[in-house]
Every structure is written in C-alpha cells, then in structure tokens.
Amino acid sequence: MSNSLKINVVTIPEEGLNFNFSEDGKWLEECFQDIDRNDFILRKVDVQCKITKASSAIYIQGGISVRLGIGCSRCLEDANILVEGDFSYTLVPVKPEKEEDVELQAEELEISYYSGDLIDLTPIICEQIILQIPIKPLCSEECKGLCPQCGTNMNVASCNCRSEFVDPRLAVLKNIKIKNN
C-alpha cells in the first residue's frame, strides 16, 4: 500500500491540510486484497478533503467521487455509474484499554481512533467507497428491466408476453364477488 496516504499528525499546519487523492482500479485490488470477489469494479476514485487539528483531535471533511462498473439491478447489464458523496471523520488518540466492559455513548459512535503520529487514510477511503455504492444500482433511471415471464431485456427488445400475467396460484381469487351493503 502506498505511503502517500499516511499523514503525519505533527506536520498538520494550523490552517489545515488540503488532501487530494486520485487512483484507478488497481488501487482497489490492493485495498480489498483480503476479499475474494467484489460485486463491482472500481474504475476511478477521486477524494478531496481538508484535514485539521485541534489539540490531539483530527478532523477530516471532504468529498468522494467514484466511477464504478456494476450490474444494473433491473436489467442485469453492466452499468458504468458515477457516485458522489460527502464525508466527515473525527479521530482522537486511542484511549487506554479498560478491563471492564464500557457502554459507548452516542457521541462516541462518530469518533474513530488513531495511535502514534501517523494516520492512514486508506481505510477511510475504502470505507467511503463501500458506503457510496447504491443498494440498487441502475444503468439509467429509465431502465425497463427484464420481462418477468420470458426474461427479455425490455431496453433492447420487446416481447409478446401478456402484461396482465396472473399467478396461477392466485387465479381463483379473480372469481370472488364482494357484496357492498
């Protein structure tokens, strides 16, 4: 992993440090080398952030732009999509470990920890990539998906299937008459 993603806490100036990062898909392979298979292909990632320091706390605020190759959730074709988002992190020095179980307070859930003088931004960037991936990616908002009967991709062809398909298990319900008084 590249050392360019490690920031020395001591060298962060009072006015803050602007950090820009841009990489292609080979970087992701290193970032996620422990994972056997990804459901997406990273084409490009761009990160811009400002790193500031107040006492021993480090604040990271920025934005991420990720170009992904991923399967469309409607038509299953490969889609090349761009996702963008903002993020912020607060990092504080690691607390000494306590013997007993400690309940986390709500404000502590938004805090990460670092030790030593170096902060590695790699896990932060990798986490943001994963968080930006849409749950149901689409090749386009107008994607028509697949025909539920024959599986034809409705974006490239049409089929002669009936649009009023009734599940045979529910067909008997069509004959029920409800009387309104």
What is the arithmetic mean of pLDDT over 55-84? 92
Instruction: Decide: 51 and 60 in contact? Cβ < 8 Å.
Output: yes
Q: Locate 166 and state its tokens.
A: 């009734």
pLDDT confidence bin for 96, thresholds 50/70/90: low
Give the residue with greater pLDDT, 25 vs 41.
41
The yes-or-no verdict on residue 99 having pLDDT over 50 is no
Percent of the chain with pLDDT over 90: 31
> In terms of DSSP bridges, do strands 118-120 and 111-114 run parallel, antiparallel, or are they unpaired?
unpaired
What is the arithmetic mean of pLDDT over 59-82? 92
pLDDT of 3 reads: 45
Q: Locate 36 and state its tokens.
A: 């056997």
What is the arithmetic mean of pLDDT over 24-31? 74
Rounded to the nearest 5 degrees, what angle is found at the Cα of 166, between the Cα atoms of 162 and 168?
125
Stretch (H or E) spanning 122: helix 122-132
